[in-house]
Amino acid sequence: MPILLFLIDTSASMNQRSHLGTTYLDTAKGAVETFMKLRARDPASRGDRYMLVTFEEPPYAIKAGWKENHATFMNELKNLQAEGLTTLGQSLRTAFDLLNLNRLVTGIDNYGQGRNPFFLEPAIIITITDGSKLTTTSGVQDEAVHTLYVLQECLINVWSPWYRKCKVGW
């Protein structure tokens, strides 16, 4: 029963239009919708739980939680608007915090005792972004800056080639 967390870039740069005339955000929405339709056909996916998180400031970033039904998820996906900043580091931290909270609520993690090794709940973070410069309220950054806590959590939960570009911040 894996959790699939979709982390969608809703920064203003996602309003750019592709050569087909659709915005990058519309393309991202279509990709998630197609993924959901294909995944629904697989009998092994019946226990999957989905989350929809955007690049907005928490708590507004959470559009559909793991307890929401499919219709709510799709409705929130369709209503996404591209505005704001590209805050990839903060958004990843929000995503990992939500996954950790879910593990505490379901009893997979125990406060002060760690993770129960016999309880496995895979979690997949699917990030869709246009790859524009990372922008924050303090300006444009060349690299994503993560706290040590988030970087350790990234390496424990998910491997991705782009983590080699992460810079540990204190």
Which candidate, 10, 96, 136, 14, places its Cα nearest to that of 61? 10
The mean pLDDT of the chain is 78
Q: What is the CATH number of the domain that holds 121?
A: 3.40.50.410
**Count: domains in the chain:** 1
Please report the pLDDT score of residue 9 as a whole number. Answer: 92
* Domain span holding position 12: 3-169
Contact 146, 154 (CB under 8 A): yes
- Taking only the tens place, the pLDDT of each residue in 74-96 is 999 999 998 888 788 889 999 99
Residue 60 gets the label, from left (phi > 0), alpha (psi -120 to 50) or beta, of alpha
- Taking only the tens place, the pLDDT of each residue in 15-56 is 888 888 899 999 999 999 999 999 989 888 888 899 999 999
Q: How far apart are the first and last CA of the chain?
A: 35
pTM for the structure as a whole: 0.74
Contact 64, 74 (CB under 8 A): no
